[in-house]
Amino acid sequence: MSMYIGEALAGDGNEVAHIDLMIGSKDGPVGHAFASALANQTAGHSNLLAVLEPNLAVKPSTVTITKVTIKNSKQAVQMFGPAQAAVAKAVADAVEQGVIPKDQCEDLVIVCGVFIHWEAQDDKKIYDYNYQATLDSIKNAMGSKPSVDEVVAGKDKAAHPFRGF
């Protein structure tokens, strides 16, 4: 398979984390999206590599992309700080846990969409929730979760937390 797709939500309040991600080969559609995300920056949507610390980027190489327009310096620091660090740690832990095979890390890339609410305040919650949502998204992607049967079984009783009714 050339593309794995994962999604997860963790936490609550303004620090809630919602991650959408794609994992795939560098020479496939995810590799193309990865390169485009790094090469095509726009105002309010600064995409960045996930690093554990400067000069220690994770493998598979991961680009974090903003799912909302960054409107101020506080939100930018939250994206470049706790959210980026959380995504990086989750990727590294997924490799360590064998969720992402270590022998595929140079061939794969990850595009990770990160949501930072404009009223988020607690950096520790931003980190914790984004870590959990990213790790869950990776596990879902690599495990092909949910299955089609799970989707069909759950569709009529699903209650989206933000649907408004």
Residue ranges and CATH numbers for the domains of the chain are 3-142 (3.30.230.60)
Q: What's residue 165's pLDDT?
A: 74
Q: What's residue 129's pLDDT?
A: 98
- pLDDT by 10-residue block (mean), the chain, 165 residues: 92 96 97 96 92 96 95 92 97 98 97 95 98 98 95 91 77
62 contacts 50 by C-beta, under 8 angstroms: yes
Does 160 participate in catalysis according to the annotation? no
Q: What's residue 2's pLDDT?
A: 82
Q: What's residue 1's pLDDT?
A: 63
Catalytic residue selected from 18, 32, 45, 160: 18
* pTM summary value: 0.95
